[in-house]
Amino acid sequence: MKTPDTVRPGERAFALLLVLFAGYAFREAYGISGFSGLTTGGVMPMLASGVMVVTALVILADTLRAPSGDGGGVRGVVAYLFPLRVVLFTALVGVYVAVIPWVGFLPASAGLLFVAIWALWRRGPVWAAGVSALSIGVIFVLFRLVFQVVLPAGSLWQ
């Protein structure tokens, strides 16, 4: 895997958080039984968290050595982590979750799939509707008929 030439926005702060989290995990693992023996209950958690500490320190050292990119401060980190497409799809999933109790699982899922496929595939609404309908049909057959799972119908239809 090719590593970037410069540090991405927020990468150094994230590497530092990794070290802090790994150190906390090691401290908690040590609290289980300490270094009292190789067969005690805390050995595996200490081993795993020790590996986490070492790898987090290596990652932190690599990010500190790498040249700094144009991060742009907090605004640059937010722009890097939350591009408009990610924010919009997160909002779409939020609407999907809110709509399921009202319209039911299948219509809400069909709407989510239609919008997502249309936005991402960009082949037009007819293709998106066809793929969505086919997908919902497969989901219905698998879950309702094969596995006999009762899918939420929604309060609108009752």
- According to the model, what pLDDT value does residue 3 have? 64
Cα–Cα distance, 82 to 80 (Å, whole number): 6
- According to the model, what pLDDT value does residue 158 have? 78
Q: Residue 94's CB: how many other CB atoms inside 10 A?
A: 10
Question: Taking the complete model, does pTM exceed 0.75, yes or no?
Answer: no
| Residue 133 pLDDT grade (very low, low, confident, very high; cuts 50, 70, 90) | very high
Stretch 72-77: mean pLDDT = 84
